[in-house]
Amino acid sequence: MIIRGATLFSRAAAFFVMLFTITACGGGGGGDSFLGDPENELRLTLLDPDGNETAVITSNRPGTLQVKLSGSNKRDVVITADVTLGTLIPTTGTALTDSSGIATFQIEAGPERGAGTVNVSAATENGNVTASLGYQIGEQGLTIGYFDDDGMFVEGQIKIDPGTSLAAGGNAELSVVAIDGDGNRLTTVETVNFSSGCIAGGLATINPENPVSTVNGEASTLYSVLGCTGLDEITASLVGTSAQATGSLTVAAPSANAVQFVSAEPQLIVLKGTGGQNRDETSDVVFRVVDGIGQPLQGVTVNFSLDTNVGGITLSTPSAFSDGDGQVQVTVSSGDVATTVRVIATIFSNGEEVGTVSDLLTITTGLPDQNSISLAVSDTFVVENGMRVDGVERELTVSMADKFNNPVVDGTAAVFTTEYGAIVGSCFTVDGVCSVTWRSQEPRYPTLTGDDFIRTIFDPDYNCPSHDASAGPCPDDLGYTRGGRSTITVHAIGEESFVDRNGNGIIDQDEAALFENLPEAFTDHNEDGVYTPALPECIAAPMGSSQCIAGQEEIFIDFNSNQAYDLNDSPAVYNGLLCPPEGDGVWCSRELVHVRDDIVVTLSAAPVWDILLLDGRTPIGTTEFGETHTALISDLFNSPPPGGSEVSVSAEGDCELLSDSSFEVPNFYNQGAYAIPVLTVPPENPSGDPGFLRITLDPVGDSSYTEFFNCEQIVCDGFSPEPPDCDPNNPTP
């Protein structure tokens, strides 16, 4: 056989000779020195099937380990052995010495290749004796390469088909053949590992994957390009040996077809210099470069630009190379002007520029400003049975936006307080919104005065501006102190609102007066719009007026922790991050404030209801035919029924209802009775039975309540023709 390339003389015979080392000692050791009891020594010899000493074990040529114990009493001594590689026979790892002091074991090759050690010990009368021996599992003098078309073996080289040049995304077959020292293909099953920079980097794959088993001495695998470009050096290694082969592939650069937007995180960033927890000043924008079939491309140059750089918006780099996933990233840093911006990404494809844009990024303060916070309640403002039933719930939702009416950053904290009932203390926004739950429970009255000053529809000093009755429902607010009305307040750290006349996103010196000054926030129990305990007249006489009494338990939120209520008017300047650094402490302040909003829910005093019938301003108990009257409905505290309650009206006897017979109560916010019109007329054919009017309230969550009113009595005068039962001598039937 003719051998091309390195000669077979390069086999590492010397290496195996070095491995064939016998050691024996009482407690471990090496070389040919023997320690321990001179009466007992162990000598190890590894023999091939032909009886020759060897250091190599193969799958078809196992090794016989001969252990010889010298000294006296060497017969029937138990020899114990174990191996680090291969299989030891017998598997018990023990054997008895014969009369010559010799015990034998067999070592067979397993699936793993490499250098191993056999460790032997014997327990003799003179003590414990040990010895060890190194060996190699695998063929001796193995080589890998391939056979060319002329049948000549090319040592140390990988066969690559169809060639060493590949297109982007192409495939090639890699193969090697393992031969023994005589140049024959191995008939045993061996394994080969193929490695390269692109394989290690995930830019190319092989199938089957490592390790690749030989069939008739040959191992082959399919190399597939993912994102690899340029030269890729490949190495094939025969497992368990030092035999290797190499080859190289040149992969053509891919042709980029398109660039795609992938993500921008986060999409809302805050103005430069205003960042902090949950407030990013930068956004990472990711694009992907793909080829004509949508596969990601590595190493493509992507150029970046912005559609606006107002306020000093910047990019971290003007260009970057796509990675193994075809992705490329650029970071956008905010400027000092609130705006929206997109990143433009471009590549060159076949000599033409192609590109795409990112989703819209928003640059803003991220903080709520005062005119962009609002509080809403689910269901109805009037809470059914709220004054007597615990656990009736309402969901409170706060919505917050910044100066530019962009939603505040996610995670903005909103804090809640309530006058009556109980409420979850805080929530954190997502997309500018978050919600908490309020429920009915104690307290339901002021702590200090209880119900002493609560206005009711039966008070001795009752006075309704809209009618002359001495008691009963009133369409107006009865004034301080209002029963059952609970103010709920939400506040958050934010900025005051101002008018930005020149649209530059900051408050300039000539705009210094165009803002809404905010005192410290408070829960407005008496709904007068001011922190009542701080009014001079209420400081002087807390019980001096109904306003002072109704507001004496109001609590403020001490933003600066000075234990005093601050009007923030000494002097009054704009507070917020849109105060430019040069204006801070001059015409504005970069310190923040509590923005706030409140809402009132009414705890219904069901089942205490009352209905009042009016003719103009006058209370009546009897309707007048042809006249439109007003019926007023309220609870004890002059609050309307809950929204969705129903009112029905009917007439009986000699009375006919001409107005609507049913009504649904709207969702009222303010205090005041619910009013409906009532119009009655005489029937065409009177029966002579007294007429009366029935008004029934069916409140949400409570039993119905009904009141009756008389209808005007029919008289015969003025009717033509006269009613059938009228006596001409008696004008009354």
CA distance 281 to 394: 37
Average pLDDT, the chain: 88
> What kind of fold does domain 258-364 have according to CATH?
Immunoglobulin-like (2.60.40)
C-beta of residue 424 within 8 angstroms of C-beta of residue 436 = yes
Q: What is the pLDDT of residue 337?
A: 77
CA distance 587 to 593: 16
pLDDT band at 633, cuts 50/70/90? very high
Percent of the chain with pLDDT over 70: 91
Percent of the chain with pLDDT over 90: 67
* Tens-digit pLDDT profile for residues 15-34: 333 333 333 333 333 333 34
Residue ranges of E strands in 388-484: 393-400, 413-418, 422-423, 426-428, 433-439
Name which of 253, 239, 189, 257 is nearest 218 in CA terms.
Answer: 189
Rounded to an integer, the average pLDDT of 500-504 is: 86
* Residue 519 pLDDT exceeds 90: yes
Rounded to an integer, the average pLDDT of 416-424 is: 98
Q: Is 151 left (phi over 0), alpha (psi -120 to 50) or beta?
A: left
Rounded to an integer, the average pLDDT of 210-218 is: 91
Residue 20 vs residues 82, 121, 389, 421, 697: alpha-carbon distances, Å: 17, 18, 95, 90, 108
Q: What is the pLDDT of residue 245?
A: 97
Which H helix or E strand runs over 13?
A: helix 13-19
Rounded to an integer, the average pLDDT of 508-521 is: 95
Name which of 414, 409, 412 is nearest 397 in CA terms.
Answer: 414
Q: Is 259 exposed, middle or buried (0-12, 13-18, 19+ CB in 10 A)?
A: buried
> Within a 13 Å sphere around the CA of 38, how many CA atoms are in the beta-carbon half?
0
- Residue at token pair 């390195």: 6
The reply to whether 4-137 and 609-710 are identical in fold is: yes
C-beta of residue 366 within 8 angstroms of C-beta of residue 402 = yes
* Residue 193 pLDDT exceeds 60: yes
By mean pLDDT, which of 107-111, 172-176, 244-248, 688-692 is the weakest?
107-111
Give phi and psi for 304, each to the nearest 5.
-120, 145
Q: What is the pLDDT of residue 23?
A: 36
Rounded to an integer, the average pLDDT of 606-632 is: 96
pLDDT band at 717, cuts 50/70/90? low
* Residue 10 pLDDT exceeds 50: no
Q: Which residues of 461-497 are buried (b: 16+ CB within 10 A; e: fewer)?
A: ebebeebebeebbbbeebebbbbbbbbbbbbbebbbb
**Which tokens sit at 634?**
């309220």
Q: Is 107 exposed, middle or buried (0-12, 13-18, 19+ CB in 10 A)?
A: buried
CA distance 638 to 624: 26
Domain ranges of the chain: 4-137, 143-251, 258-364, 609-710
Give phi and psi for 523, each to the nearest 5.
-95, 115
**Which tokens sit at 209?**
């994957």
Rounded to an integer, the average pLDDT of 570-596 is: 92
**Which tokens sit at 66?**
């001969």
C-beta of residue 662 within 8 angstroms of C-beta of residue 646 = yes
Alpha helices in 307-448 (DSSP H): none
Q: What is the pLDDT of residue 478?
A: 95
Q: 143-251 is classed in which CATH architecture?
A: Sandwich (2.60)
User: Would the pTM count as exceeding 0.85?
Assistant: no
Residues 6+ apart with CB under 8 A from 718: none
* Residue 732 pLDDT exceeds 50: no
Q: Is 326 exposed, middle or buried (0-12, 13-18, 19+ CB in 10 A)?
A: buried
Rounded to an integer, the average pLDDT of 56-82 is: 88
> What kind of fold does domain 609-710 have according to CATH?
Immunoglobulin-like (2.60.40)
Cα torsion through 683, 684, 687, 688, rounded to 10: 70
CA distance 550 to 459: 17
Cα torsion through 379, 383, 389, 392, rounded to 10: 20
* Tens-digit pLDDT profile for residues 388-410: 999 999 999 999 999 888 889 88
- Residue at token pair 């219904």: 604
Provide Rg for the chain, Cα atoms: 49
CA distance 38 to 588: 100
Task: Tell me the CATH number for domain 4-137.
Answer: 2.60.40.10
* Residue 272 pLDDT exceeds 90: no
Q: What is the pLDDT of residue 37?
A: 44
C-beta of residue 594 within 8 angstroms of C-beta of residue 494 = yes
Instruction: Please tell me what DSSP assigns to residue 579.
Output: S
pLDDT band at 148, cuts 50/70/90? very high
Q: What is the pLDDT of residue 729?
A: 47
CA distance 69 to 88: 19
* Residue 563 pLDDT exceeds 50: yes
* Residue 721 pLDDT exceeds 70: no
Residues 6+ apart with CB under 8 A from 262: 286, 287, 288, 327
